[in-house]
Structures are given as structure tokens and as C-alpha cells.
Structure 1
Amino acid sequence: MGHFLSEPQLTDVRTALSEPFNDFPTDYDYIARQVKGVGPGILYEIFYSEVAPVCFSNLAAVLPTVWTGFDPDWLRARIEERLAARERNWLCRQFDRGLVVWLKYNYGYMWKEITRRL
């Protein structure tokens, strides 16, 4: 993607942005503190293009498997796998493009809560 964050910083930002997808009350002030200094455009791209496609199914599950936080290493690995698949497969790219539109519609309230605190 077009963001220029170091690997540890990117992992921290992705982990913070995954918080609303836990089956636990979300502390949006905490998220804002974790992503401080990263531009809203970059955060928007990471939230919808990288984090939400990997994490949203936790909220959609009848019995969510992640309650208190996604493991940063697991999250990084899943996101990198998805980005690589998107890169090499036209069908994955098209599917994810549609998925991102759906995610923006369904989880826009999360993004609003995050940006209100930036």
C-alpha cells in the first residue's frame, strides 16, 4: 500500500484499528492515542483495505472467537496474505473491492468514532 510506516509502527496501527472488531466494548479514545501522528487518509486506507476485511467476520460470527484483542502477529500475517492474494489474483482484487464498499457501509460508524477523536 502507499503508506510509509515502519513494520513495527504498521503492526501497532493495524492492531489498534482492529479493536472495534473485538466482541468487547470499544475504547475509541485508546485507539486514537495508539494511531496519533498517522494521517487520517492513511488510517482510512489501513482500516478499510487491510484491517476490516480480515477482522469483520469476528463481529458477524454467532460466537465471536476474539473477545479482547487480535494477536498482532496473527493479524499481520492474515493481512499480508490477503494483500498478496489481491496482488496476484484479479478475482481476489474484485471481490475485495466489493467487500470494502460493503464494509464502509456497514462499519462506517466505527470510522466516525475513530475520526471524531483524531
Structure 2
Amino acid sequence: MKTSKLFTDKDLCAALSDIFVDNRVDYQYIASVAKHFPVEYVQMMLYRYVAPICYTNALTPVPPVWTFFDADELWENIGILKNKEQGLFGKFKRDLCTLYLKNRLKQEWQELMCFLQN
């Protein structure tokens, strides 16, 4: 009997964080996790929670993370980010950041969508 893994939000975020490692991005792997969630939800988790935490890794000349982000640490940072966005200013900042990241990560999202649609 074959059992299938139930994927959690933490699993999804850990997979999406691979977009920001300083290595070849395995979109097929990311899609293998993301396909268990609605596309709109995956997009929201990427832009609202994962990208704001992991994006700076892609901006540094010598990125500190080149293989994978620690899933527990990432999930803890997402919890901190969620708490910060509770107020009016936090929501405004979140929405502004999301708009910027949607534009900046358009190519990465399109690449992931190619794998999600197959």
C-alpha cells in the first residue's frame, strides 16, 4: 500500500525558499510540493512570506545560503513577519513589498508555473 505525504505550509515555504539559494533552482522539486496547494495560495505564500525573508540572499555578492534554507528557522521568521503585519502600517508595508516582489520575481514565478501546469 502506497502512502502519500501530506504537505504543510512549512513544507511549501521550505520548497519555495529554494528559489533564493545561490545554486541552480530545482523548479521541478518546488512544483512537486507546490502542486498540493491551490496556485493562488502558492503565489501568496511566495510573495507575502517567503520572498521577504529570503530575497536578500539573492542580492548579496557572496550569498550566505547556497544549498537550502533551514526550514525551522524560515518558519520561525515567517511567524515573526506575520506578527509584524498585524497593524495598519505593517499591512501597508506588506502590500508594498508584495507589489515590488511580484514585479521583481516575475521570471521565477513564470518558470515555476511551467512546472505546475504539467
TM-score bracket for the superposition, by shorter chain length: 0.7 to 0.9
**Runs of 4+ with >3 A deviation:** none
* C-alpha separation in 2, matches of 1:41 and 1:19: 19
Structure of greater Rg: 2
TM-score, normalised on structure 1?
Answer: 0.88
Please state how far the C-alpha of 1:117 moved relative to its aligned partner. Answer: 0.8
Percent of matched pairs sharing the same residue: 29
Matched, 1:101 2:61: no
Counterparts in 2 of 1:20-99, with a 5 A limit?
20-87=19-86, 89-99=87-97
Query: What is the RMSD computed on CA atoms of the aligned residues?
Result: 1.4
Structure 2, gaps ≥5 residues long:
1-5
TM-score, normalised on structure 2?
Answer: 0.88
* C-alpha separation in 1, matches of 2:8 and 2:63: 27
CA offsets 1:20-45 (integer angstroms, 9 cap, x no match) = 10011101111111222211011011
* C-alpha separation in 1, matches of 2:98 and 2:9: 20
1:83 maps to a residue whose letter is K
* C-alpha separation in 2, matches of 1:95 and 1:65: 26
Structure 1, gaps ≥5 residues long:
1-5
How many corresponding residue pairs? 111
CA offsets 1:24-67 (integer angstroms, 9 cap, x no match) = 11011111112222110110111111111111011011221111
Q: Secondary structure at the match of 1:63?
A: coil
